[in-house]
Amino acid sequence: MGGTVVSPRARLVGDGVENPANAEALAEAARMFAVPCSFRDSRGLAEHLPELSTVDTAALLGGAGPLIAVDNAPRAESVYRAGTLHSGASIVVGNERRGIRPDVLRAAAKTVQIPMPGRGVNTLNVATAAAVALYYLLDAHGRRQARAPRPESHRPTLLLAVPRDHVEAGSSLRSAAAFGWQTVVVDDREKVWFGTPRPVRNEARAAARSHRNPLHVVPGGDAWSSPPGSRVVVCAPDVDGPPLHRTELTGPGTVLVIPDGDGWEPRPGAEFARVAVPGAAGRYRLLTGIVLAEAARQLGTRTAGAPRPPRRGMSYGSGLDLTAPPDTDLVQPWELTHY
């Protein structure tokens, strides 16, 4: 599962990952960045994946290069500011529920976290987190400045364009909520999110962590078109355009489109941002994770002590408890100003 393309610059290690599907997605994240992938297998993964490349505790903790723990542990530094890695680093991600084991956290030269400004689940899928970390620790050189202190006024509209798999779509929605989006448009021509049979629907909602993520998912497709005057930026691995991290992804009127493969026809006038990775193009959740992380990085966070933007127009009390039957439009109080 480690792949044949081996780079000396780093290796990816899954520490106690227990879900075989996540282990496969993690190996795919490593292939995107042309680094080897192995697992400290404390959860019986090898029973499901006989080809699994494993590393024992002594080799993991006593390896030649530095250990970099990727986890949202207290006092972890932002991955956006972590700087370039020494070659030979082991980049470690952890178990789906418990995270990285304490021995690795203690031995790590550095622990980095991916800032999560969302209001619900404050973690990413483990393979998505690995792809985001590899992108910033190895490849995103020459980044644009982050914007602050009023990120919310510049948050772009997000369109997930024709996702082909319901779990990948759900996992991408989980990421969107964790990175702070409250509304996402899905062009669902492949019918992976709306009106799906119950088992598919349940898996997709579980991947999105829908029960804990207050996300408003709007059907796109032919019925949805970007607002007049908007700037559409298509983010994909195989497009002709500047690298993602050097492209302006934010600003009022910006629509970010993340197509899954080539099933979506860009409109005339669209701009393109290339998600450049040194290895294979990865699955949809990995691509969306990288794009959303970069948009969130560019948005920045409100600087501590910065004044809140003045309220304009109408204001509403926040004591409402909003619930909606599945797949109906739920209008948030702040959206009422658009009507």
Q: List the x/- string, 123-162, binding to ligand SAM by CB under 6 A.
A: xx-x--x---------------------------------
Rounded CA-CA distance 178/197 in Å is 26
Please, which of residues 74-113 interact with ligand SAM by CB under 6 A? 93-94, 96-97, 99-100, 113
Nearer to ligand SAM, 96 or 190 (CB): 96
Q: 3-state SS of the chain?
A: CCCCCCCCCEEEEEECCCCHHHHHHHHHHHHHCCCCEEEECCCCHHHCCCCCCECCHHHHHCCCCCEEEECCCCCCEEHHHCCCCCCCEEEEEEECCCECCHHHHHHCCEEEECCCCCCCCCCCCHHHHHHHHHHHHHHCCCCCCCCCCCHHHHCCEEEEECCCCHHHHHHHHHHHHHCCCCEEEEECCCCCCCCCCHHHHHHHHHHHCCCCCCCEEEECHHHCCCCCCCEEEEEECCCCCCEHHHCCCCCCCEEEEEECCCCCCCCCCCEEEECCCCCCCCCHHHHHHHHHHHHHHHHCCCCCCCCCCCCCCCCCCCCCCCCCCCCCCCCCHHHHHHC
Q: List the x/- string, 20-59, binding to ligand SAM by CB under 6 A.
A: ----------------------------------------
The correct pick among 70, 217, 236, 292 for binding ligand SAM (CB under 6 A) is 70
Nearer to ligand SAM, 172 or 196 (CB): 172
Query: Does position 71 bind ligand SAM by CB under 6 A?
Result: yes
Binding window for ligand SAM (CB under 6 A); candidates: 56-64, 116-124, 159-167, 252-260: 116-124
Q: List the x/- string, 262-281, binding to ligand SAM by CB under 6 A.
A: --------------------
Nearest to 245 by CA among 286, 194, 296: 296
Q: How far is the CB of 106 from ligand SAM (least distance, A)?
A: 15
Binding window for ligand SAM (CB under 6 A); candidates: 36-44, 120-128, 179-187, 192-200: 120-128
Total residues at the site for ligand SAM (CB under 6 A)? Answer: 16
Binding window for ligand SAM (CB under 6 A); candidates: 68-76, 182-190, 254-262, 324-332: 68-76
Nearer to ligand SAM, 211 or 312 (CB): 211
Q: How far is the CB of 20 from ligand SAM (least distance, A)?
A: 15
Q: Phi-psi category of 184—alpha, beta or left, where left has phi over 0 and alpha has psi -120 to 50? A: beta
Nearer to ligand SAM, 207 or 234 (CB): 207
Q: How far is the CB of 136 from ligand SAM (least distance, A)?
A: 11
Q: How far is the CB of 289 from ligand SAM (least distance, A)?
A: 10
Are 160 and 172 contacting, i.e. CB atoms less than 8 angstroms apart?
yes
Please, which of residues 195-224 interact with ligand SAM by CB under 6 A? none
Query: Which residues in this chain contact ligand SAM in the complex, by CB under 6 A?
Result: 70-72, 93-94, 96-97, 99-100, 113-114, 116, 123-124, 126, 129
